[in-house]
């Protein structure tokens, strides 16, 4: 008998349903995270400094307006759109789950 927790894991195909669908895009977003961390938090381990990342939808829209082109730092605007969309979604999910402290969550980098 499969437990509810095991079934939830099977019903969340992170590898086959996300990573295998979009391997190049996921890699680009990871590179964007590192570039953002290097820009906003030089010399520190990769992390998402949320104090420097609060306007996801405005930033996403600014980059969306330039989709299809490369930003001055060499990163595609569309990559930054994806990063900001993921950041916004992460925050929405956390809010709906009433996560009290970002320290309870894995840390990732900011995008510019």
What's the pLDDT tens digit per position in 44-92? 999 999 988 789 999 999 999 999 999 999 999 999 999 999 999 999 9
* 30-to-24, 56, 106 alpha-carbon distances in Å: 10, 17, 14
CB atoms within 10 A of CB 57: 12
Q: State the Cα–Cα distance between residues 2 and 70, nearest whole angstrom.
A: 47
* 48-to-16, 34, 95, 109 alpha-carbon distances in Å: 26, 10, 17, 4
pLDDT value at 101 more than 70: no
CA angle 82, 41, 24 (to 5 degrees): 30
What's the pLDDT tens digit per position in 32-44? 999 999 999 999 9
Mean pLDDT, the chain, integer: 89
Cβ–Cβ < 8 Å for 104, 42: no
Highest mean pLDDT among 6-20, 75-89, 92-106: 75-89
């Amino acid at each position: 008998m499969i437990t509810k927790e095991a079934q939830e894991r099977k019903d969340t195909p992170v590898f086959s349903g996300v990573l295998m669908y979009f391997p190049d895009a996921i890699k680009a977003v990871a590179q964007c995270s590192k570039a953002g961390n290097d820009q906003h938090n030089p010399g520190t381990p990769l992390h998402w400094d949320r104090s420097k990342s609060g306007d996801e939808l405005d930033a996403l829209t600014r980059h969306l307006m330039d989709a299809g082109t490369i930003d001055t730092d060499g990163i595609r605007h569309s990559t930054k759109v994806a990063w900001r969309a993921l950041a916004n979604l992460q925050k929405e999910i956390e809010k709906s789950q009433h996560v009290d402290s970002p320290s309870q969550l894995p840390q990732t980098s900011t995008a510019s």
